[in-house]
Structure 1
Amino acid sequence: MAYCGNIRQEGCGKLERREKYRLFLYVLLIGSITALFICWMILIWEKIPGAIHIRAGIRQDLDLNVPVSGKLYKAPAETEDGAIPVTGMNAAVDAREAKTLSVDLAEPLTLYAEDIETYTMDLKLFGLIPFKTVNVQVINDKTLIPAGIPIGIYVKTEGILVIATGDFTGDDGQAKEPVGHLLKEGDYILKVNGREVEGKAAFMRQIEESNGEELVLTILREDQEFDLKVRPERNQDGEYKLGIWIRDNAQGVGTLTYLDENNSFGALGHGINDMDTATLMNLKNGSLYTTEIVSITKGENGTPGELTGVIDYKESNKMGTIEANTVEGIFGELNESAASHITTQAMPIGLKQEVDLGPAQILCSVGGAPQLYDVKITSVHLDHDNINRGIELQITDKTLLETTGGIVQGMSGSPIIQDGKLIGAVTHVLVQDPTRGFGIFIENMLIQ
């Protein structure tokens, strides 16, 4: 009897373990399916741009092949008559909602509008699950002159940028930290005692001549402006200090991307960030200067290369003024003399939905006049989280590879051209493989 009882207990134990194992497999299966579904949804999300630009008066195809559908209508702020005409097998007017069109992005779609307007596309996954809202902007067709010339860049910050804080040894031998936790890396000092800061040298002189009296600093931090009080203290040399490291300018070499009919320019394809804080620098003013490439450091796997240019900051070498420093690049106006030296022909822009995988070219100068070099577009991200990395490309031109090893620092802003259209600008190099890099769509540079 006891023996049979043991057999039954062993059998029950095996059955219980089997049930637990089966439950584990079910949970693993459900988890795997859920993970795959989420990954698939992310891929679908990235295939649908958050914003679509179409040219007024021109029919344009959109072939995303994704299982989403929804409604297309004029943006709420625009309540007057007319909806954007949509053609294609999947487009049908919704009779219940005036001026609203049904769209299905699983099928090719043709968009057409005559007026400059903004529309909204509300999309649902499988037509059921709210998924994404897309802004559709009708724009005038535009032509730009691709430049591809090297430029010297000099910018002054709006106020003084704090790049680090710390302590120092005072005249009594004790550690001093006057600003304590009051100031942070990335702060901008705009005013001292209500007066605008004139520059790094003038600010340092104010601190040294303060005689340890309390100062009121006006600070800009993440778009918030406020005042705080600090009291400079003496170091071992008897000089008054705050214990901060500051910067009020930046300079470097880049590439001019385009020029329009009004001599307005765009360059770099990304903003000028401070090298220490990695934050976008607040621009007070800036200038472009002529520069001559004097040496090239060839890029290697793990080590990016560089174009080294000589910049003479004389007024006679000034090419133009920088009026904006944004995530999408630097923008401003060239003077007539500089504009007259750009002789390339104007060409239409290519919108991001028109960019194809395959052959393209970049226009850049690695010594002498700008030249076209062959590249291959390897991937297109219509809705990349990083606006500066919508295009992935690879250098295929043997001459450029022999000269630079691929994409190097200083080539940021080099125009990317495909099928006779300006589609973007080079922005980054892949450090582990300098033959590969990224670019920004030209339309993103134009909406800054």
Structure 2
Amino acid sequence: MKNRVFGVIAFLLLTALFVMPTSVTTVAKAEQSVYLGGMPIGIGLAENGLIVTGFVDVITDEGAVCPARGTEILTGDLITEINGSFVKNATDFASILQKSEGDVTLTVKRGENEYKIALTPATDSLTGLKRIGLTLKNGINGVGTMTFILPETLKFGALGHGIVDADTGKPFVCDSGSVYQCRIDGFKRPEKGKAGELNGKFLDKGSPIGKITRCNAFGVYGTVEKGVTKGLKFIPVASRKEIKPGAAEIYSTIHGETPEKYDIEIVKAATQRKMQEKSMLIRVTDEKLLKETGGILQGMSGSPIVQNGKLIGAVTHVLVNDSTLGYGLYVDWMLENAA
């Protein structure tokens, strides 16, 4: 099946959402080395639960009511249990709800926090079924790019930016999900005012190659199976203090499953003492990539940036009005999140 890309999301769309400085000052270890990514990955988030996408009224004999409205539930929340029973899909949820008597208690996750919320279902006058006034969906699927894998722990970093739920318009933060093998089958070139995008396909949704343990404003992180590193290049890491404006390369996949190297220029490297986005302004200079794609595409986010033979960061954003320009995140910040 085809899946939407997690992008390099257009810079103009995410500036206000994801500038999240912290007090972290750690820099990459001088002698640290990692497995270099660049290959596409399928990402499945919040697979064990249901995401709240909205509120709806229930038509009862007494009129229209919405049991969930006015509670602590928010759009973007993840419902993992109802009355202490785990829910993996809407069928599970509906079955438990219909068998319940009186109030029901939902276990709701919001980022790293968990809440127990009780409410009284309403009875739909047309169907006679119990409703709680929520629209729900299964987890989020998409395609992105692996940045690196740590050799000893097999922890990985990917994407380098946050994910916005297309249905709620909100940043999505979670601590569970899966990584899948993926193939790029084609792409759409950018159009005026609209970024281009890769078209990716999960190769085997039933066999994940890794687990996601963190998804936040700085990317997706977790662990992969040992076999994933087979054949990958081993490369040293540079701290942000070593990065200079000038020539560099990105490793990305625009056909199939194997990454290629493309030339870029680091236009500006920001001085960042705290964890922030927009670490580097980059420009694509590779004639082959420019001819094929016009520059940076959604789905290339997470593509490793290498300078002087060392991993320095990942592609994260594209400018919608000029797809040859984009932003990157320092690898320091991604290593901190992967730790």
**Does the alignment reach a TM-score above 0.5?**
yes
For residues 222-269 of structure 1, what are the alpha-carbon distances to aligned partners after superposition, in whole Å with 9 as ceiling and x for unaligned? 655443321222333332211112234111111111123233322111
Q: Is the 8 A contact 1:185 1:277 kept in 2?
A: no
SS at match of 2:249: strand
Q: Provide the residue aligned with 1:202 in structure 2.
A: 92
Q: Does 1:376 align with 2:265?
A: yes
Q: Does 1:156 align with 2:46?
A: yes
Question: Which of these residues, 233, 247, 258, is aligned with residue 359 of structure 1?
Answer: 247
SS at match of 1:252: strand
Task: Output the CA distance in 1 between the equivalents of 2:74 and 2:25.
Answer: 39
Task: Output the CA distance in 2 between the equivalents of 1:302 and 1:321.
Answer: 35
SS at match of 1:290: strand
The residue correspondences of 1:17-56 to structure 2 (distance < 5 A) are: 52-53=25-26
Q: Provide the residue aligned with 1:320 in structure 2.
A: 210
| Alpha-carbon distance change, 147 to 226 in structure 1, aligned in 2, over 3 angstroms | closer
Structure 1 unaligned residues grouped into runs of 5+: 1-48, 56-138
Task: Output the CA distance in 2 between the equivalents of 1:224 and 1:320.
Answer: 23
| Alpha-carbon distance change, 221 to 302 in structure 1, aligned in 2, over 3 angstroms | same
Question: Which of these residues, 166, 178, 181, is aligned with residue 290 of structure 1?
Answer: 181
How far did 1:149 drift? 0.7
For residues 388-444 of structure 1, what are the alpha-carbon distances to aligned partners after superposition, in whole Å with 9 as ceiling and x for unaligned? 321111112121112112111110110001111110001111122221111110011
Task: Output the CA distance in 2 between the equivalents of 1:385 and 1:425.
Answer: 17
Corresponding letter in the other structure for 1:387: Q
| Alpha-carbon distance change, 382 to 157 in structure 1, aligned in 2, over 3 angstroms | farther
How far did 1:279 drift? 2.5
Question: Which of these residues, 158, 161, 164, is aligned with residue 270 of structure 1?
Answer: 161
Q: Provide the residue aligned with 1:404 in structure 2.
A: 293
Higher relative contact order (CA 8 A, sep 6+): 2
| Alpha-carbon distance change, 329 to 181 in structure 1, aligned in 2, over 3 angstroms | same
| Alpha-carbon distance change, 165 to 422 in structure 1, aligned in 2, over 3 angstroms | same
Q: Does 1:311 align with 2:311?
A: no
The residue correspondences of 1:26-425 to structure 2 (distance < 5 A) are: 52-53=25-26, 139=29, 141-156=31-46, 159-168=49-58, 170-172=59-61, 174-182=63-71, 183-210=73-100, 213-221=102-110, 225-235=114-124, 236-262=126-152, 263-275=154-166, 276-284=168-176, 286-315=177-206, 318-342=208-232, 344=233, 346-368=234-256, 369-383=258-272, 387-425=276-314
Larger deviation, residues 377-386 vs 173-182: 377-386
Q: Is the 8 A contact 1:373 1:400 kept in 2?
A: yes
Structure 2 unaligned residues grouped into runs of 5+: 1-21
Q: Is the 8 A contact 1:162 1:186 kept in 2?
A: yes
Greater helix proportion = 1
Larger deviation, residues 394-403 vs 151-160: 151-160
Report percent identity of matched pairs: 32
| Alpha-carbon distance change, 227 to 321 in structure 1, aligned in 2, over 3 angstroms | closer
Q: Provide the residue aligned with 1:24 in structure 2.
A: none
Q: Is the 8 A contact 1:158 1:282 kept in 2?
A: no
Q: Is the 8 A contact 1:191 1:197 kept in 2?
A: yes
How far did 1:314 drift? 4.6
Q: Is the 8 A contact 2:30 2:237 kept in 1?
A: no
Give the number of equivalent residue pairs.
Answer: 311
Q: Provide the residue aligned with 2:19 in structure 1.
A: none
Q: Is the 8 A contact 1:378 1:392 kept in 2?
A: yes
Q: Provide the residue aligned with 2:12 in structure 1.
A: none
| Greater Rg over alpha carbons, structure | 1
| Alpha-carbon distance change, 404 to 210 in structure 1, aligned in 2, over 3 angstroms | same
Q: Is the 8 A contact 2:47 2:88 kept in 1?
A: no
Q: Is the 8 A contact 2:24 2:275 kept in 1?
A: no
Tell me the TM-score normalised to structure 2 length. Answer: 0.82
Q: Is the 8 A contact 1:157 1:282 kept in 2?
A: no
Q: Is the 8 A contact 1:361 1:372 kept in 2?
A: yes
| Alpha-carbon distance change, 264 to 193 in structure 1, aligned in 2, over 3 angstroms | closer
SS at match of 1:389: coil
Task: Output the CA distance in 1 between the equivalents of 2:302 and 2:328.
Answer: 9
How far did 1:193 drift? 2.7
Task: Output the CA distance in 2 between the equivalents of 1:378 and 1:397.
Answer: 15
Task: Output the CA distance in 2 between the equivalents of 1:307 and 1:360.
Answer: 22
Root-mean-square deviation (Å): 2.6
Q: Provide the residue aligned with 1:128 in structure 2.
A: none
